[in-house]
Chain A
Amino acid sequence: MRFLIVDDSSTMRRIIINTLNKLGHQDVAEAGNGREGLDRLSSGGPVDVIITDWNMPEMSGIDFIRTVRSMPDIKDTPVLMVTTNAAKDDIVEALKAGVNSYVVKPFTPDTMKEKIEAVLAR
């Protein structure tokens, strides 16, 4: 099972990696924004789950997901968004862009585990 974490905060990437490691997932790739995420997907091979932030420089999480959903080879990859944007309108926008599940920061490890398992069970 291969994960791609797209977040401009190295701290948040490490927190998510630590959570994934505790859940038994060791194969994790990282990217610092949506553009780097697309590069990773192009050059690093397919991933099983994408976990992305919303607010990032160069390419936001929303634009990243819209691009992923337009690419035939990877358009069905499950996507989990992790963000501080918790307004109802934000969640609706993310779901419309193609997000499968949504985690609002701050989150507990149990919440992250639950959301990852839900995305994987799709």
Chain B
Amino acid sequence: MPPIAAIENLFIEELTAATRDVFKTMVFQEVEASSPITGDALRPGANVVGTVAFAGKTSGLVVFYSTMEAAQMITASMLGIEPASVNGELHDAIGELTNMIAGSFRTRMAHAKGETWAISVPTVTVGSDFYTKYVSDVQRVLCPFRMNTAELFVELIVTRSAGQ
């Protein structure tokens, strides 16, 4: 099988726009995007990871990373409560956030490239001292964002490119 093609800028632009839109409309927070990082140069130090897979002509994963503190702020803002009041809601909130980012990205790519993708239900991992390693050939780009003082990351991992 030929190697996975490099991720087009269009994918990165649409993923960034989708993330901004979800934060503005559903988290009620603005996020500032920084330059994307390709390859394995940077692995974000995160305690909370949300993942949604997509499959179609292009297949892969949309992964959201944040610290526990940032995830609590996001959850509180989505629910309209104080961060200190966040108790068992964090997993569902981050799952829904990742689901909306992936869903909005899918809609944008359908308009931009005419690709139709199915997306999975979200999974959320909370913990420390863990990392994810992909055994197959993948292309990845990490998009950093800043929400107030918190650093957030959204990663696009492509496991199959259109035409392969």
| Shortest Cβ distance from residue B94 to the other chain A in the assembled complex, whole angstroms | 9
Tell whether, in the assembled complex, residue B121 and residue A84 are in contact, meaning their CB atoms are under 8 Å apart.
no
Interface size, chain B (Cβ < 8 Å): 24
Interface size class of A (residues with CB under 8 A): 10 to 19
Considering only CB atoms, which chain A residue lies closest to B107 in the complex? A86
Instruction: Compute how far the CA of A65 lies from the CA of B22 in the bound complex, rounded to whole angstroms.
Output: 27
Tell whether, in the assembled complex, residue B116 and residue A87 are in contact, meaning their CB atoms are under 8 Å apart.
yes
Contacts of A86 in B (CB 8 A): 103, 106-107, 110
| Shortest Cβ distance from residue B19 to the other chain A in the assembled complex, whole angstroms | 10
Q: Is B47 an interface residue (CB 8 A)?
A: no
Considering only CB atoms, which chain A residue lies closest to B122 in the complex? A9
Tell whether, in the assembled complex, residue A108 and residue B25 are in contact, meaning their CB atoms are under 8 Å apart.
yes
**Residue among A12, A18, A85 making CB contact with B96, cutoff 8 Å:** A12
**Residue among A9, A84, A107, A108 making CB contact with B106, cutoff 8 Å:** A84
Contact flag A105-B100 (CB < 8 Å), given A9-B95, A11-B92, A15-B78: yes
Contacts of A108 in B (CB 8 A): 25
Contacts of A104 in B (CB 8 A): 107
Contact flag A106-B106 (CB < 8 Å), given A12-B96, A14-B79, A87-B116: no
Q: Known A-B contacts: A18-B80, A87-B107, A87-B116. Give 9 more (CB < 8 A).
A: A9-B96, A9-B99, A11-B75, A14-B78, A86-B103, A86-B106, A105-B100, A106-B21, A106-B22
19 A-B pairs (CB sep. < 8 Å)? A9-B95, A9-B96, A11-B96, A14-B78, A14-B79, A15-B79, A84-B99, A84-B100, A84-B103, A84-B119, A86-B103, A87-B107, A105-B26, A105-B100, A105-B103, A106-B21, A106-B22, A106-B100, A106-B104
Closest 6 CB pairs of A and B: A84-B103, A86-B107, A106-B25, A11-B93, A11-B96, A106-B26
